[in-house]
Amino acid sequence: METITSAPETPSAIQQQRLQFVLQLADTSLVLGHRLSEWCGHGPVLEQDIAMANIGLDFLGEARSYYQYAAELEGAGRTEDELAFLRAATEYRNPLLVEQPNGDFAATVLRQFLFDSYHLPFLEALRAGPDEKLAAIAEKSVKEAAYHRQWSAEWVIRLGDGTPESRRRLDGALRDFWRYTAELTTPAPAETALADLGLAPNLDDVRALQQAHIAEVFAEATLPLPASGVAQKGGKTGRHSEHLGYLLAELQYMQRAYPGLKW
């Protein structure tokens, strides 16, 4: 299989799609990592405070690897920092789920669970793909994602099959977040084009694995599986909820206020 490792002078259509795809992965990890970092110092107990910070840092590390690769694919001299800190909300390609506000602990746990149930099979497919750079990033991240999935599944079971209060909160989170689940495995135009060429994971396969995991954990958590319902989409093509703007305003503040600042 063909492996493209460097960007040509004028990016071809396929090169452009690769860039969009890698940016989408980078934005997704950065935004979710940032959301988790917001818990730092606010966790319900010290141990979970540290757990969420750890997971957030895993996502930040994953995001950096993708941004570095995106910068290389783009070949326009932009750095990973410029891609992360100087793009507008409409240029961000993350799915809507990861930009949703933390809410209470149950909401954060459920958002994480829905994402992790997609993330692990996605990375496993990416690891087996022909793009060596992405395969290497996936190889490193897959172990982290396996732990994240264990952590979030454990908490969904505890809260779902816990006290009336924990169940009430988890039910509320499910009502809020379920509609964003389908977007994770709905391909953006770049993903469709690349998947047709075997250059990106087939999201139908990922969705089957995701749904199996969700069904298994929900059964143990005594949670009824929600009906498919209306799916909210748009993040992957740059149409975001209002929340992303506020998130980026905080995330990008330093580089916007003091361009080129280093520390």
Partner 1 sequence: MTNTEWPLWEVFVRSKQGLDHKHVGSLHAADATMAIQNARDVYTRRLEGVSIWVVESTHVHASNPDDAAAFYDPAADKVYRHPTFFEVPISIKHM
State how far the Cα of 45 lies from the Cα of 192, in Å rounded to an integer: 42
29 close to 70: Cβ distance less than 8 angstroms:
no
State how far the Cα of 64 lies from the Cα of 13, in Å rounded to an integer: 24
- How far apart are CB 165 and partner 1 at their closest, in Å? 11
Residue 14 or 146: which CB sits closer to partner 1?
Answer: 146
- How far apart are CB 44 and partner 1 at their closest, in Å? 11
Site residues for partner 1 per CB under 8 A: 45-48, 50-51, 54, 147, 150-151, 154, 158
State how far the Cα of 258 lies from the Cα of 147, in Å rounded to an integer: 37
Q: Tell me how far CA of residue 233 lies from CA of 36, 88, 194, 250, in angstroms.
A: 22, 19, 20, 24
- How far apart are CB 110 and partner 1 at their closest, in Å? 18
State how far the Cα of 247 lies from the Cα of 19, in Å rounded to an integer: 23
Residue 54 or 211: which CB sits closer to partner 1?
Answer: 54
Residue 12 or 150: which CB sits closer to partner 1?
Answer: 150
State how far the Cα of 75 lies from the Cα of 82, in Å rounded to an integer: 13
- How far apart are CB 48 and partner 1 at their closest, in Å? 8
- How far apart are CB 155 and partner 1 at their closest, in Å? 9
Residue 83 or 217: which CB sits closer to partner 1?
Answer: 217
- What is the DSSP annotation of 181-224? HHHHTS--HHHHHHHHTTSS--HHHHHHHHHHHHHHHHHHTTPP
Residue 48 or 252: which CB sits closer to partner 1?
Answer: 48
Residue 15 or 54: which CB sits closer to partner 1?
Answer: 54
- How far apart are CB 53 and partner 1 at their closest, in Å? 9
